[in-house]
A and B are shown apart, each in its own frame.
Chain A
Amino acid sequence: MILQELFGWFGDPAHWQGPDGVPNRMLEHLGYTLLSVFGAAAIAIPLGLYVGHSGRGGVVLVGLSNAMRALPTLGLVTFLFLIAGGSEAGTIVGLIVLAVPPILAGTYSGVQDTDRGVVDAARGMGMTGWQRLWQVEVPNALPLLMGGLRNAALQVVATASVAAYVGLGGLGRLLLDGLRVIDYSKVLAGALFIALLAVLLDLVLAGLQRIIVPRGLRVAAAAVAGRPKARSSGRTES
């Protein structure tokens, strides 16, 4: 039975130790993921904020990120790996290219979707461009921005397995090596751990989102959805 074999695989202490053990592969996988997502965020968030805030280059931006989405990731990673001379950098760049479009789209549309009246009022009250960006547009963009970030993280976790194709580590090793020796338990274990990592990462980001998105926006979203208003210490009778 496959399940028994799977449990057998889990039970083997050899699979939990050393460079090819699950903990190490998981750390490698997480490392690629975080590096790529942070790298992508460092590019996409400032760019998205700039374009959303200034209203300049929106068309170019959408075209560019659609083009980036269309690139085949595996081919790109292999190609970059080859021109980068077999280092990890190529893989990371490939994953960054994958993660940029969702973060860019989330940031840009978060700023764009900020109520025009609200932005107009901010300007009319005498906010400078920077003040408007930080005090109004960024807080209002956070829900969509975080959505984009979570999307990117999920895609990167799943795709970081390609690192194994070019001889690097990560949980992709379990999949590839398992396939090579026809050890389906290993393949299945690899897939399960990738899924687990994705879920955990998303939970962490969801927690972060809850902390940084201003409470007023959650209250407003709940009011629009017609659900009972969010719990609020500040609510008073009138």
Chain B
Amino acid sequence: MIEFQAVTKRFDDGTTAVDNLDMVVEAGTITVFVGPSGCGKTTSLRMVNRMIEPTSGTVLVDGEDIRKSNPALLRRRIGYVIQQAGLFPHRTVLDNVATVPLLSGWTRRKARARAAELLETVGLDAAMGKRYPSQLSGGQQQRVGVARALAADPPVLLMDEPFSAVDPVVREGLQDELLRLQADLDKTIVFVTHDIDEAVRIGEKVAVFRKGGVLAQYAAPAELLSNPADDFVSSFVGKDRGYRGLSFLQADGIQLGGVSTMGLHGEHLSGERPSTVGGPDWTLVLDDDGRPRGWLPPGVVIQGEPAEEDLRPGGSLYTEGTALRGALDAALSSPSGLGVVVDDAGRYTGVVTAQQVIDLIEERRKDAA
């Protein structure tokens, strides 16, 4: 747990970077600091590991005033990941990761063994340990940065825009990886970003800062999107926030429809549910394991096996039990207008329409009123 108690930071030139910050970052959660450039996110973060000393106020980590700890020793107990990773160019990837264990007095052997283990944890081939940072892609460097921060198994992890220097696709992969890691590790993570999408995607709690280092709102992402505290927060979370909010609505109670299906060898499979949805007669082709392969448009007559060129690629798939946003996206992106629903193993279980999603939202709204 990290506590900010009336923390203010004023730099020598008179800039107030953080203004009277009072907040509690709960243990075992990912808490995101978000806000426009220059609003004091980095300054707040760096006051936790004493890279910056507050002008006034107190920061507590696990109940202890950090001013009581020696800064170097304190920092070895707090993982730190920065933008561009900041890897040591003169050391191999393995030795980069082994840095903090070595500083803490581990033997070289033990530290390297631990480092190799961590490379795998963050999804890198252990053979990459022999390379130098300049021989890695940006995304790989960020993974190494995360591995290095985790090496001494610190309970707290500070991450300052760790993924902002990589392209959006890689970034999304890294975010997923972080969420997966956190499910196992259960660290107290403070994550700084200026990207609201990233904030609501990975944050369990989100702190929105405004210019002058003032905390504007501190809430769970769903709350932030549905109930912004003021005009600043509402404009900062952006114009897509209604749609984004669907990420936090569960889709339970949605009635799945059926559609006629065909196997890869041309055999007609009967849908498990009667076709409850109207519309043109598209046929969904499934592989031998029951996973969707693509759509056959209405009116296409298949003799024997459907050929690859007859198939229209499907849209995104919606996995049962996940948030409503995925269901809507599946319906909107499907060539037939029918969103394909699959189970955890990726097997076809039914279809859903955009209208159904909208109806469900309307229903919820009525219930809430």
Contacts and interface: CB of A to CB of B under 8 A. Distances in A.
B130 A234 contact: yes
A195 to B, nearest CB: 35
A117 B86 contact: yes
A234 B135 CA distance: 11
Given A115-B86, A123-B51, A216 B134 contact: yes
Nearest to B73: A126
In the complex, which of the residues B80, B89, B127 has the most CB atoms of chain A within 10 Å of its own CB atom? B89
Interface residues of A, number: 31
Contact of B90 (A127, A140, A232, A233): A140
B128 interface: yes
Given A123-B51, A126-B103, A229-B135, A214 B128 contact: no
A125 B80 contact: yes
B227 interface: no
A210 interface: no
Given A216-B134, A238-B128, A121 B87 contact: yes
A216 B73 contact: no
A125 B99 contact: yes
A228 interface: no
Contacts of A123: 51, 75
B49 interface: yes
B236 interface: no
Given A125-B76, A229-B135, A216 B90 contact: yes
B131 interface: yes
Given A220-B134, A238-B125, A117 B76 contact: no
A226 interface: no
Contacts, number: 94
Given A124-B49, A126-B100, A117 B73 contact: no
Interface string A223-238: 1100001001111101
A220 B88 contact: no
Contacts of B131: 232, 234-236
Q: How large is the interface on B (under 10, 10 to 19, 20 to 34, 35 or more residues)?
A: 20 to 34
Given A125-B75, A234-B130, A120 B82 contact: yes
A124 B75 contact: yes
Contacts of B73: 126
A139 B135 contact: no
B322 interface: no
Contact of A118 (B71, B89, B103, B134): B89
A29 B317 CA distance: 80
Contacts of A126: 71-76, 100, 103
Interface string B74-118: 111000101111111111100000011001000000000000000
Contacts of A120: 51, 82, 86
Contacts of B82: 117, 120-121, 124
A216 B128 contact: no
Interface string A183-221: 000000000000000000000000000000011110110
Interface in A139-178: 139-140
B282 interface: no
A47 interface: no
B91 A216 contact: yes
In the complex, which of the residues B71, B87, B131, B132 has the most CB atoms of chain A within 10 Å of its own CB atom? B132
B148 interface: yes
B132 A127 contact: no
B134 A139 contact: no
A238 B127 CA distance: 9
A61 interface: no
B79 to A, nearest CB: 9
A128 interface: yes
Contact of A122 (B88, B128, B149): B88
A149 to B, nearest CB: 18
A88 to B, nearest CB: 40
Contacts of B80: 121, 124-125
A236 B75 contact: no
A125 B100 contact: yes
Nearest to A119: B86
Interface of B: 49, 51, 71-76, 80, 82-92, 99-100, 103, 125, 127-128, 130-135, 148-149
16 contacts: A115-B86, A117-B83, A118-B86, A120-B51, A120-B86, A125-B75, A126-B71, A126-B73, A126-B75, A126-B100, A127-B72, A140-B89, A214-B90, A217-B90, A219-B134, A235-B135
Given A125-B148, A216-B89, 6 more contacts: A115-B86, A118-B86, A118-B87, A122-B88, A124-B75, A140-B90
